[in-house]
Amino acid sequence: MFERMRRDVGAALERDPAARSALEVVLCYPGVHAIWLHRIAHRLWGWGWLTLGRFVSHAGRFLTGIEIHPAAKLGPGLFIDHGMGVVIGETTEVGENVTLLHGVTLGGTSLKREKRHPTLGNNVVVGAGAKILGAFKIGDGSRIGAGSVVVREVPPNSVVVGVPGRVTYRDGQRVVGEIDLNQTDLPDPVAKAIEQLLERLHHLESEVQTLRKTLEEPKVGRL
C-alpha cells in the first residue's frame, strides 16, 4: 500500500512542475487524495459492501471535486492534475502512467449494465475538459486534446483533437514510449485538409492558365 502511495506522490512530482515537495503533494493535491479514497472504495466494492463503497466515493467527491465510481479500475501511476470536475464511470479501466487534467469525463453511452465506459491504455494524456464517451479503447501513448469529444476507438500513439474527436499524428510521426503533456502544438486535421484543398486549387488554376495559352497560340499564328 505504501509503495503505491509513494508512486502516486512521485507521479505528481514528475508531471507537475508546480509541485515543490512530497509533503506538499500529500497535503494539497486533491487528485492524489481522490485516488487514495478510491482505493478504499474499490476494496469495499470488491468485498460486496456496495453501499459503503459508494458512500466513500461520495465523500471523496465532496472533498476533492473528483467523482470516481468505486467499481472503476485505475492503474498505477495515475495522476489527476487539479482534478475539479473529473468524472470516471463504473466500467472505466485506466492503464499505467495515465494523466487526466481537470474537467475530464470518462463516460458511458448505454443504459445497460455492461461494459459502457472507455478503456485507457498506458501513458495516455487527456487534456482539460475532454470527454471520452463509450466502451472503446484509447491506445497506449495517445494524447487527447483539451475540449475534444471522443466517441470512437483511438489507435496507439495518436493525437485526437476536435468535436467530434479526429485522429491524427504529431508531425506525422508516432510518439512511442513516453508521456507527452504538450497540449499546445496539437495538429488540426480540418485546417490541414483546407490547406491541401487550397494547394490543389492553385495547382489546377495554373494548369488551366497553361492550357489557355496553348489553345490561344495557334490562333495568333493564323492571323
Mean pLDDT for back-to-back runs of 10 residues, the chain (223 residues): 87 89 92 95 95 95 94 93 92 93 91 91 92 93 90 89 78 54 58 77 84 72 51
At 162 the pLDDT is 83
Amino acid at residue number 57: S
Q: Cis (ω within 30 of 0) for the bond into 164?
A: yes
At 4 the pLDDT is 87
At 170 the pLDDT is 60
Cα–Cα distance measured from residue 6 to residue 1, given in angstroms and rounded to the nearest whole number: 9
Rounded CA Rg of the chain: 24
Contacts of 138 (CB under 8 A, 6+ apart): 118, 119, 120, 121, 124, 132, 144, 150, 153, 154
Query: Regarding beta strands 73-74 and 143-144, do their DSSP bridges make them parallel or antiparallel, or are they unpaired?
Result: unpaired
At 206 the pLDDT is 83
